[in-house]
A and B are shown apart, each in its own frame.
Chain A
Amino acid sequence: MTARRLALFTAMTIVALVGCGSGQRTDPRSGGSAGAVTGDVTVFAAASLTESFTRIGEAFEAANPGVRVAFSFAGSSALATQINQGAPADVFASASPANMTTVTEAGSGDGNPSVFVRNQLVIAVPDGNPDGVTGLADLNRPDVKVALCAEQVPCGAAAVRALATAGVGLTPVTLEQDVKAALSKLRLGEVDAALVYRTDARAADDDVDGIEFPESAGAINDYPIVVLRNAPNRPAAQAFVDHVLSGPGQAVLTAAGFQAP
């Protein structure tokens, strides 16, 4: 391609892009997140948000054609550590206020985090509930092998609270590093039950039944979200957070089994 043709091509591309953008442009202050932002947004989100945030990301990209959302899903505490060590993230969505506090206290957050959903534990059992588990007390039976999350991660901390409320002293066979790992031990058939979030049980609907239990009400996790101070793309980051808090965003989350805050 000659230099002249390259210049022409570039000019045409720019015209095309600007044309696209201006067609959908709205006033950013009017509250809509459509069309006003461009570029890449990097969202660090708790592992339990994997399915719902992936969907929200697709909807957000569809509403903002110039934006690409990249997710990093992992345990909230690992993400908090990465953010405080300077990872180039725009948004942090945590599965517990404790990990959010780690980030805001280190000065990595920008403004106050807002709680966007809440999640609670269920007892996940294999499809059809072969062991007839009905409540936490059943997990204490010697023939039932249980996987919990480690206490260091939010789902493990919630499990400890729920078990204390129920007065059940349980010895699990393993303390997994995140909620998805606990669930995969169940799906592989190595344990008979696992305490996981309702949303994770629902996402694994084909293999797993989620059994609600009353003590989980005392161990509800708030999920806070925040735009990060060193966000490379602050406008898009704010637009993404707005989208999560908006009606369509909340609809995706409640469909996945989360509760509105």
Chain B
Amino acid sequence: MSRRDVVVARSDRSTPVPRPRRTGRVPVALLLPATLGLLFLVLPLAGLLIRTPWSTLPQRLTEPGVLIALRLSVQAATLATLLCLVLGVPLAWLLARVDFPGRRLVRALVTVPLVLPPVVGGVALLLVFGRRGILGGWLDSTFGVTLPFTTAGVVLAEAFVAMPFLVIAVEGALRGADVRYEEAAATLGAGRWTTFTHVTLPLVAPGVAAGAVLCWARALGEFGATITFAGNFPGRTQTMPLAVYLALETDLEAAIVLSLVLLTVSVVILASLRDRWLSSP
């Protein structure tokens, strides 16, 4: 084996570069803003906990509306995440692996729901999928299906707002993945579909999982697009954020309790997912 071969072989190996040990004092210029940032994020949560009516908590938690809204929230967010996975992973692959004209524009368009106020997103959905909408009118007259004010409408609204999180995360993972595995598969005769399912997807699975978790969390907290597109009716379209908003109208404590439930559920689920799938180094 020549000297050159050795060098190539070594650089081909995809073992992570060993990290140098971090030593020395943490600079105050970084530590101070970091601490302030953490406080800024955590203090409002502490505020919720301080104002929580602990003595009446059990009664409030067992009120029938709470569980119904919670179940609907979790179901709708999960369905929205599945929808985002089915549509968003191929979209991310397209953006990362296919060179087509206008790709930058498409990438910018994908992120539009991130900056669009969700209420506007809800109105936009109504203009397309509403009873008088471009597609919604056709759905109604052909199949008798109307999406607004249904649980399917909630899923649609949440997917619209949450999908960019998934697409961005997966596209990032795809760009970071080593293309040479895919090229190797191609030289061995695998088509693009087989390469995608057998090589690419397993390679970026952690990225897909991370994107799905982000997407789910965003869907769970969705308020504006949901109340605008799907309305608010207990058991059908009233998710936890909507219930919190309406409770706030009359009963601050009830709103705090509902927020606490939502917070606990999301933290527990996100933490458990993170431990299982997203082992951070």
Contact = CB atoms under 8 A, between A and B. Distances in A.
Contacts of A75: 249
A215 interface: no
A249 B233 CA distance: 38
B232 A190 contact: no
**Range of interface residues on A (Cβ < 8 Å):** 20 to 34
Given A188-B126, A190-B131, A174 B250 contact: no
A177 B233 contact: no
B227 interface: yes
Interface in A73-95: 75, 77-78, 81
A174 B232 contact: yes
B211 interface: no
B231 A78 contact: no
B231 A147 contact: yes
Given A188-B130, A190-B130, A174 B231 contact: yes
A150 B149 contact: no
A81 B253 CA distance: 12
A111 to B, nearest CB: 25
B246 A189 contact: no
A83 to B, nearest CB: 13
B198 interface: no
Contacts of B246: 150, 152, 175, 177
B132 interface: yes
Contact of B252 (A81, A145, A152, A153): A81
A42 B136 CA distance: 43
Interface string B49-80: 00000000000000000000000000000000
Q: DSSP class of A's interface residues: helix, strand, loop or mixed?
A: loop
Nearest to A75: B249
A190 B148 contact: yes
Contacts of B250: 77, 152
B51 to A, nearest CB: 11
A261 B232 CA distance: 33
A152 B249 contact: yes
B237 A174 contact: yes
Contacts of A181: 227
Interface in A133-158: 145, 147, 150, 152-153
Nearest to B231: A174
B232 A175 contact: yes
B245 interface: yes
Contacts of B148: 173, 190
B248 interface: yes
Interface string A177-194: 100010001001110000
A184 to B, nearest CB: 8
Given A188-B132, A190-B131, A190-B148, A77 B249 contact: yes
27 contacts: A75-B249, A77-B250, A78-B248, A81-B249, A81-B252, A147-B231, A150-B232, A150-B249, A152-B246, A153-B249, A173-B231, A174-B149, A174-B231, A174-B233, A174-B237, A175-B233, A175-B234, A175-B238, A177-B227, A177-B246, A188-B123, A188-B126, A188-B130, A189-B132, A190-B130, A190-B148, A190-B231
